[in-house]
Structures are given as structure tokens and as C-alpha cells.
Amino acid sequence: MIHPEQVADMLRPITSTLLPTATSVPGPVPTVIPTPTEYQTVGEAGRRTLWVTFALMVLSSGLFALLSWNVPTSKRLFHVITTLITIVASLSYFAMATGHATTYNCSTVWDHHKHVPDTSHQVCRQVFWGRYVDWALTTPLLLLDLCLLAGVDGAHTLMAVVADVIMVLSGLFAALGEEGKTAQKWGWYTIGCISYLFVIWHVALHGGRTVSAKGRGVSRLFTGLALFTLLLWTAYPIVWGIADGARKASVDTEIMIYTVLDFLAKPVFGFWLLLSHRAMPETNIDLGGYWSHGLATEGRIRIGEED
């Protein structure tokens, strides 16, 4: 007769392999909590800065308009251009401060883990495209101010303006470009930088040559304004590269830096130009009468023409 304990002894090796023991119980399955989408967006400080800049641009527009008071139309060309610049900037800052003219550019960022496969999450940065609309309209006007002051010919002025618009649009395409497609984003940025070199070439080099015929006073004013513009404008692609490009600066920091640059490039540039222009009659321009009388030739006295 077989004793039940003998049966149990015989079965023990079999059951020990079939039934899980304390040591063979699988541990907790490693889990990864997905990283939520990260938003790089404007904060309270940035929004307040946009409102303050809007107010400063409106105030500057009003003061520029006042400066043109009592100035005859024929001598008001610089006043009109300069006032338009700050009016457009006011509109752009109003749009940005109220949350318009903005979008998000999202890119995928990979997260690496030790025991499980890599995961990814989205980083979305706020892009204020209104800024580029502003620049596309106002930077050609700023260049026009400089070209008219220096007496640059129409052909070079037009080339400078077109290169400038290409520069700004390239910046916009770069800002909206896909992060993963390096060629798209940084390719547009490179095109923008090359266009900027053309702008410098047309305005600074040609302007520097033509302005010498206008006397020492105008030459000195043009050199000062052109150098100031060159230094300021060169800061824009650097800020862009750090903020929108590499995303190493917050949206608020980006807004604050652009505000300082825009304030110097528009109101400060404008006051410098208009106050100096007032004291220098040789800077008056009427584009051969076109500015105040149009293209009609009737009633005009043409000196030096036989007929």
C-alpha cells in the first residue's frame, strides 16, 4: 500500500516546476507616462509689454503727425513715411496684444528611457506672424527714408526694397517651418540672411557714394542713421536664431527684446531723422514735383528745356 505522503513526495518535483514560486513571480511591468504637449506661449509680462509698445507707437505716430503740422506738402515726404511706419507698428502691436496674428508651430521631441522604447511628445511654440506683416510693410519704408536721404536712384532703391521683402518673408517661412525638416527651417533663414546682405549692399554702399554729393551735413546724418540701422537690424536675425530658431529663449523674452529693437528702429530713428531734417533745408525732397503736384506737366515751368 502506498502512503499518501509518498504520493505527495513523488508529485513535488512536478508541481514545483508548474506552480509559480515567490521568486518566479514577474515584477511590475515598466510603464511610461507620456509627456504632455509642452506649450511655449506668451505670459503676463509679454502681454503687458505688447500693450505698452502699442501705446508708445500710437504716441510716436501722434508726435510725428504734430511735427508735420504747418510743413508744406512739398517738404512733408519724410514726415509722411515716418508716421506711416509707426502707424503700421501700432496696428501690429494691437493685433498681437489682443491675441491676434498668432499661431503655434509644433515639433516632435524624442524622450529616451532606460528599459522601454523611446517615446515622443510635442513642443508647440507661439509664433506672432503679425510681426512679419509689420516688418514687410515698415522695413521697406525705413529703407525708403534712407535711400531718399542719400539720393539713391530708383533702380537701387527698388532692388533694396524687394530684397528686404524677401528677407522678411523668408523669416516668416522659417518661423512656420517644420522643425524636423532642417532644410526647410534653416534653409529659409539662410535665404533671409543672403537677402539682408543685398539690402546692405544697395543701401549702405550706393547710399554712401551718392550722399557725398549732398554736402557734409547730409553725409554726416546719413552715415549716423545708416550705422545705427545696420547695428540694430543685424540684431534681429541673431535674436531670431536664439528664440524662434533654437527655441532657447522664452516667448516673453523674445517679445521684450523685439520691443526694445522696434522702439529704437522706429520711434527713435524717426525722431532723429525728422528733427535733423527740420534743421537742414538741403534734405527737402519733392521727387521732381511729383510728390506735391503729381505727374501732370501743365502749368509747370521747366528750366533748361528749349520747348
Tell me whether residue 57 or residue 152 sits nearer to ligand RET (CB atom): 57
- Count of residues in contact with ligand RET, rule CB under 6 A: 20
- In contact, 54 and 94? CB cutoff 8 Å: yes
Q: Which residues contact 10 (CB under 8 A, 6 or more apart)?
A: none
Burial label for 112, CB within 10 Å (0-12, 13-18, 19+), is exposed
Among residues 68, 139, 276, 283, the one that binds ligand RET under rule CB under 6 A: 139
CB of 34 to ligand RET, least distance (A): 34
Q: For ligand RET, which stretch binds (CB under 6 A), given 59-67, 117-125, 135-143, 152-160?
A: 135-143
- Give the per-residue SS3 of 3-19: CHHHHHHHHHHHHHHHC
Distance CA 296, CA 293 (A): 7
- The residues pairing with 110 across neighbouring beta strands, listed in sequence order, are 120
Q: Residue 242 interacts with ligand RET (CB under 6 A)?
A: no
Per-residue cell: 131: 510681426
Q: For ligand RET, which stretch binds (CB under 6 A), given 93-101, 121-129, 261-269, 281-289?
A: 261-269
Q: Residue 176 interacts with ligand RET (CB under 6 A)?
A: no
Q: For ligand RET, which stretch binds (CB under 6 A), given 18-26, 30-38, 168-176, 285-293?
A: 168-176
Among residues 50, 167, 204, 211, the one that binds ligand RET under rule CB under 6 A: 167
x/- track of binding to ligand RET for residues 49-88 (CB under 6 A): ----------------------------------------
Q: Residue 177 interacts with ligand RET (CB under 6 A)?
A: no
Q: Which residues contact 244 (CB under 8 A, 6 or more apart)?
A: 125, 127, 174, 175, 254
Closest CA to 157 of 139, 177, 140: 140
Judged by the rule CB under 6 A, the positions of this chain that interact with ligand RET are 89, 135, 138-139, 167-168, 170-171, 174, 189, 192-193, 196, 233, 236-237, 240, 262, 265-266
